[in-house]
Structure 1
Amino acid sequence: MVSKLFKARYYPKGNFLAAATGNNPSYVWRSICEAKPLLISGVRCLVGSGESISIKNQPWLYDAANPYITSDSPTFENNTVASFICNSHEWDEEIIKDLFNERDQRCILRIALVNHREVDSVYWSKENSGVYFVKSAYKMLQDQKGRWRTEDASSLWCKLWKIKAPPKALNLVWRALEGCLPIMTMLVHKHVPVLSTCPAQSSEFAGWLEKVLENSSPNNRAMVVMLCWVIWRARNDKPLNYKQSSMNNVLVLAKQYLVK
């Protein structure tokens, strides 16, 4: 039902991947559009009839690095992949060799054409099943950042999840290391109308925290994690509940949680 409402309002004559944010979008739609570049980078077109796939503007080649054509020709404008498919539902190799460079020719001719009655579709290229999963999308995002599962990163996560501390504290530290804490600067990035200044925030915090977890003893790691959670709670208590916590109270509370 929700998808039908979004389609009716934001892309009645197109598809989600080509839809624009539009004028005066809702917060939910704006948030969805923020994640759309990630989705687009992992989506590929599966050629059926080829009638709905743009030659130039859609990712339909079997190339993980660049699924778009690199050739250029005026005939590509406003034409679809069906232009290069014969009536026998085979590639028209003669036309392909005339219009495309060698790299594109190889990529195109590698595509096995399915039944000509099949409609064109899209699939998620990061799963063998073609079905989208958050896990593979997250891995792709970390790959793009150069942060996925290196030996050092794996060691860090292993050390983090082995710390004997409450799950809520471990989750907070994990979010801090991943840069996804709900601080004001992140809300501004998501176009939420709040002040961009954020008290007690440091762009170097995640780096400092990573070094501490890598180089401390297990007991010290647990204490650092617990302190982070108690400080985070105290930080939020001040503007939300008008409660002020002293440093001594923070230390005592952190130790109490570890004893429990």
Structure 2
Amino acid sequence: MPSYTWRSIWNAKWVLHLGGLWRIGNGRSISIKEDPWLPNQNGFRIWSTCSSFDSETRVEQLIDQETIRWREDIIRQNFYHFEAEQILNIPLDQNQQEDCYYWKKSKNGECEVKKAYHLIRSQPQNHAQSSNQEHQNRFPWKLLWNTKALNCTLNFTWRLLTSSLPTRINIQKRGITSTSLCPRCWRKEETEEHIFKDCTWTQRFWFASPFNLRTERAQNHPIGAWIEELLNQIRKGERGLFLECLHAIWWGRNKLIFEDKKIDIQELVNRATLRYQEFTVMSMPTENFTAEPPPGSRSLMCWVPPEPNLFKLNVDAAISNEGANGGGAVIRNSEGEIMVAATWLFSTTSTIEAEATACLLGLNLALECCFFLFSLRRR
């Protein structure tokens, strides 16, 4: 069996046919009745019956090989008037080069992903596809992106709403042979609706969650409409927890499939709750506090901690009358804990040079210790 990559390319060949047609050279490679070669025709193929031609008749039969001109009498006898005019207006290559296939929708004749995407979007869709696309287009995306939650959770929810998750039914649609049944209940196909609200396991999960939802009442709701409805009903401060619960369902599903681990429902609920609580704590603005100078210090300045998840590098230098110059650096986190500290002796001729040398050595220290997110302060 051909590889999945090759099968994907082959299944998308219809996109090339949407905008591809033959440019006439000697006409020997182009079938009059089967191939697209009329540049101004819808679909680029002839509409005339051409009963005197069969599927193997080539365009070269319409060209006088001595004068390299169209055989007007044959063309007007076999084609509709408007098609005959199109054919007679196609310029012929006097050098009789080979025919070539090109993409009419781009200026250079090559198929471009951007052009192909817009061409596909302009094509009529079937009812199921158009309904799904219509709901995606009208989903209030600001409602999702304004929800306070982890970035990975927001991205996961976006993939869920755009049918981008590799559910078993979606994998089958992409040509991969596999079972489509839900790995938890083995009764129905694993669609987005089934995974996140309709499966009996999922119904127990939502009832055990902080929201105490009864999802069996929404079995006829598309997943996007259901999520939109709940996001509007849930208090703003709890929307992130709802998205975390969705993410926990998917995480538990992957654990079951790829690691053969059955995660208890209450454990998944606790995991979602804990992740949301940790995110909420990390998102809270920290109060500005200062650390008093250590005993014996003559400095009047107080140490100000950096923002959470950042480190602060403090450097200082001094010059003595005896010529023993040196500097020091210390890196601390937002809690004031010392991560690393160092001192150096060096030879300088001025205070400014000593301070600059201390800054350089402090930055080198931070890089050597892999502290990439930090703020620098010179005392």
The alignment's TM-score, normalised by the length of structure 2, stands at 0.50
Answering whether residue 80 of structure 2 is matched by residue 80 of structure 1, we say no
> Which stretch of the first structure deviates more once superposed, 233-242 or 107-116?
107-116
Mapping 1:32-43, distance limit 5 Å: 32-43=9-20
Between the aligned partners of 1:172 and 1:98, the Cα distance in structure 2 is 62
Partner in structure 1 of residue 30 of structure 2: 53
Partner in structure 2 of residue 209 of structure 1: 224
Match of 1:136 among 110, 115, 121: 115
Match of 2:76 among 55, 77, 97: 97
Structure 1 residue 26 displacement after superposition: 3.9
Answering whether residue 39 of structure 2 is matched by residue 62 of structure 1, we say yes
SS at match of 1:122: strand
Between the aligned partners of 1:237 and 1:78, the Cα distance in structure 2 is 57
Specify whether residues 172 and 80 from structure 1 end up closer, same or farther in structure 2 by C-alpha distance, changes over 3 A only: farther
Structure 1 residue 69 displacement after superposition: 0.8
Match of 1:238 among 244, 250, 256: 256
Tell me, yes or no, if the aligned pair for 2:143 and 2:231 is still in contact at 8 Å.
no
**AA in 1 matched with 2:58:** T
Partner in structure 2 of residue 108 of structure 1: 87
Tell me, yes or no, if the aligned pair for 2:25 and 2:97 is still in contact at 8 Å.
yes
Mapping 1:13-24, distance limit 5 Å: 24=1
**AA in 1 matched with 2:163:** G
- RMSD of equivalent CA atoms: 3.8
Specify whether residues 239 and 208 from structure 1 end up closer, same or farther in structure 2 by C-alpha distance, changes over 3 A only: closer
Structure 1 residue 99 displacement after superposition: 0.6
Specify whether residues 50 and 249 from structure 1 end up closer, same or farther in structure 2 by C-alpha distance, changes over 3 A only: same
Between the aligned partners of 2:12 and 2:258, the Cα distance in structure 1 is 30
Partner in structure 1 of residue 8 of structure 2: 31
Between the aligned partners of 1:105 and 1:182, the Cα distance in structure 2 is 51
Could you tell me the percent identity over the aligned residues? 29
SS at match of 2:15: helix
Structure 1 residue 57 displacement after superposition: 1.1
Q: Which has the higher helix share?
A: 1
Match of 1:183 among 167, 185, 188: 167
Between the aligned partners of 1:233 and 1:178, the Cα distance in structure 2 is 18
Structure 1 residue 160 displacement after superposition: 8.2
SS at match of 2:69: coil
Partner in structure 2 of residue 253 of structure 1: 275
The alignment's TM-score, normalised by the length of structure 1, stands at 0.68
Tell me, yes or no, if the aligned pair for 1:61 and 1:107 is still in contact at 8 Å.
yes
Between the aligned partners of 1:109 and 1:215, the Cα distance in structure 2 is 63
Tell me, yes or no, if the aligned pair for 1:48 and 1:120 is still in contact at 8 Å.
yes
Tell me, yes or no, if the aligned pair for 2:136 and 2:162 is still in contact at 8 Å.
no
Partner in structure 2 of residue 8 of structure 1: none
- Unaligned 5+ segments in structure 1 are 1-23
Deviations 1:9-52 (A, max 9, x none): xxxxxxxxxxxxxxx43444333322222333332212222111
> Which stretch of the first structure deviates more once superposed, 137-146 or 162-171?
162-171
Between the aligned partners of 2:85 and 2:155, the Cα distance in structure 1 is 47
Between the aligned partners of 1:166 and 1:193, the Cα distance in structure 2 is 34
Greater RCO structure (CA 8 Å; 6+ sep): 1
Tell me, yes or no, if the aligned pair for 1:163 and 1:222 is still in contact at 8 Å.
no
Between the aligned partners of 2:239 and 2:99, the Cα distance in structure 1 is 52
Specify whether residues 223 and 122 from structure 1 end up closer, same or farther in structure 2 by C-alpha distance, changes over 3 A only: farther
**AA in 2 matched with 1:197:** L
Tell me, yes or no, if the aligned pair for 1:226 and 1:257 is still in contact at 8 Å.
no
Between the aligned partners of 1:173 and 1:106, the Cα distance in structure 2 is 55
Q: Which has the higher strand share?
A: 2
Partner in structure 2 of residue 21 of structure 1: none
